[in-house]
Every structure is written in C-alpha cells, then in structure tokens.
Structure 1
Amino acid sequence: MESICWERWIQSRDRKAANCLLEIYMPLVTYHVQRISAGLPRNVDREELQSFALLGLYDALEKFDHNRDLKFDTYASFRIRGAILDGLRKADWMPRSMREKSKRIEKAVEKIEQIRCVLPPLKRLQSCVK
C-alpha cells in the first residue's frame, strides 16, 4: 500500500496519495509530539503541537527528494521536529534571551535551596546568575 501511495504521489502529486502517506506516517507525528511535550509546561496544548507537527510532515512530503540516499522517515523527523520548535518559538511572547536568563535564575534558586534548605535572598540570586 505504501509503495503504491508513493508511486502515485511522485508521478502526479495526487491528493489521495498524499492523505494515504500522511496516515501512514502519522505515528511519527505522535512520537515527536510526545517526546517534545514531555519537557514542556502542562499549559502547552498538545493538539497545537500536533498541528505544527502535521504541517512539518506535509512540508516534508512536499520537499522530499527521492533521488537522495535518505529514508523519508528520517527526513520527515527533522522537518516535524523543526516545525514543532518553530511553532513554539512563534507562540512564545518572551524573547529567547529572557527565557534563557529565566532558566539560569531557576537553576540558581534550586541550587541554593538544596544547599541551604531555604529560598535564597534576591541579592544572593543576582550574584549567582551573572
């Protein structure tokens, strides 16, 4: 079935063939959504991640070169993961530099908290983050 869908897609860019291939590779979308969402806050909508991933899968289907010595699922994995990360970046209101600084502060708080068993004063945090 998969080879027939690929043949039809390569020859005529048939919509039914595209839908067939998207269904076949849907587990790849689910896999990457689960992997990426595991490290994200709970307020991030998995369905939104799945939408980003599907766009990445379709983009991979459109741009895949069969003449290269590369498996489609390998290529699609890069495109899916990239589409999810791009979607997350666009949806994030906080600039990347500020997000990184926020993570450094969180790590400093955890470190001091583990050592002293109390929340650190703000002055102490400032010296740890610089």
Structure 2
Amino acid sequence: MATRCVHVIAAAAVVISALSGCAEPAAPKNAVPQTPTPTVSAVPFALLTHCGIHEVRVEDTFYVADQPLDDGNGNPPAGWGNPFQEGTMTVDGGKAVFRDDSGHTVTFRERPGATSFLRTCS
C-alpha cells in the first residue's frame, strides 16, 4: 500500500509539472497605474453676448475668449442673440468651448486666479 501511495504521488507530481510547463506566462503588470480619463460633457449654457463676446464665467472660473467677438460698437456680431445666446459649454482642463445650434463656436482659456471679469458690461 505504501508503494502504491508513492507511485500516485509521483504520478501526480509529473502531471502537475507537465501542466504548469505548458501554461502561458502571466501578462506583465504595468508599473504605471491606469487612471480613467475624465468624461467631458457639454452642458446647457446661456452665453452673455450683450457687450460682445470677450470673456465668460463658468461656475467659479473666469475664462477669456481666444478671439473676442463684437460688431465694433460693443454689441454681439451679426447672427448672435442679444443679450444671450443659448448653446452648450464644454470645459476640459483650462479650456472652455461654447457651441450653439447655429454653428457658432467660441474657445475660452482659463484666467488662473481671476476673481472678477476684466471689463464690466453696462
């Protein structure tokens, strides 16, 4: 009986050894943890256009337009609503982008540390 147990154990060791040799190596673990990319979504936004489009406040952050827009007399350009233009605002890092159904797009850059607008519209 003892001889039979030794043979069973030896046979099991051979089978386990053979099977483990055929296994694929484990995928290497990435040293840098993967962090999910934040989802950026457009939210409804009423852009103040009354004195032209120069800057915007989104929540508590102030942004300035990459290319300010006005008609030269302190009004919004032709084709824009006055005093507001309805659309969406997408904020991604230090950039905010306004888009509307008329095809208007304005890109704004964050003004770090700003606590008020650069100019006041009357």
Give the structure-2-normalised TM-score.
0.23
Q: Which has the higher contact order (CA 8 A, sep 6+)?
A: 2
| Pair member with larger Rg | 2
Give the structure-1-normalised TM-score.
0.22
Q: Which has the higher strand share?
A: 2
